Amino acid sequence: MNMTASHDLGRRERRRQETFQRIMRAAFELFAKHGYADTAVEDITEAADIGKGTFFNYFPTKDALLLAIFDAVADRFQQFRLHIPEITDVRKALTEFTHATLQEPARSPNIIRGIFGAALTQPTIGEKFAKTVQVARQTAIALFERGQKLGQVRNDISAELLGRNYQQFIFGTEMIWTLTPDQDLHEWINSMIELFWRGALAPTGQDASNRKEI
Residue 133 makes contact with a copy of itself by CB under 8 A: yes
Which one of the spans 10-18, 26-34, 98-106, 162-170 is the region binding a copy of itself (CB under 8 A)? Answer: 162-170
Q: What's the one-letter identity of residue 155? A: N
Residue 192 makes contact with a copy of itself by CB under 8 A: yes
3-state secondary structure of 201: strand
3-state secondary structure of 169: helix
Which one of the spans 53-61, 76-84, 89-97, 158-166 is the region binding a copy of itself (CB under 8 A)? Answer: 158-166
Among 1, 49, 88, 198, binds a copy of itself (CB under 8 A): 198
Instruction: Name every residue whose Cβ is closer than 8 Å to that of residue 206 and which is 6 or more positions away in sequence.
Output: none
Cis peptide before 60 (omega within 30 of 0): no
Q: What's the one-letter identity of residue 139? A: T
3-state secondary structure of 8: helix
Residues 13 and 44: beta-carbon distance below 8 Å = no
Among 119, 140, 141, 153, binds a copy of itself (CB under 8 A): 119
Residue 196 makes contact with a copy of itself by CB under 8 A: yes
Among 22, 116, 155, 211, binds a copy of itself (CB under 8 A): 116
- Site residues (vs a copy of itself, CB under 8 A): 35, 37, 113-114, 116-121, 126, 129-130, 133-134, 157, 161-162, 164-165, 167-173, 175-176, 178-180, 188, 191-192, 194-200, 204-205
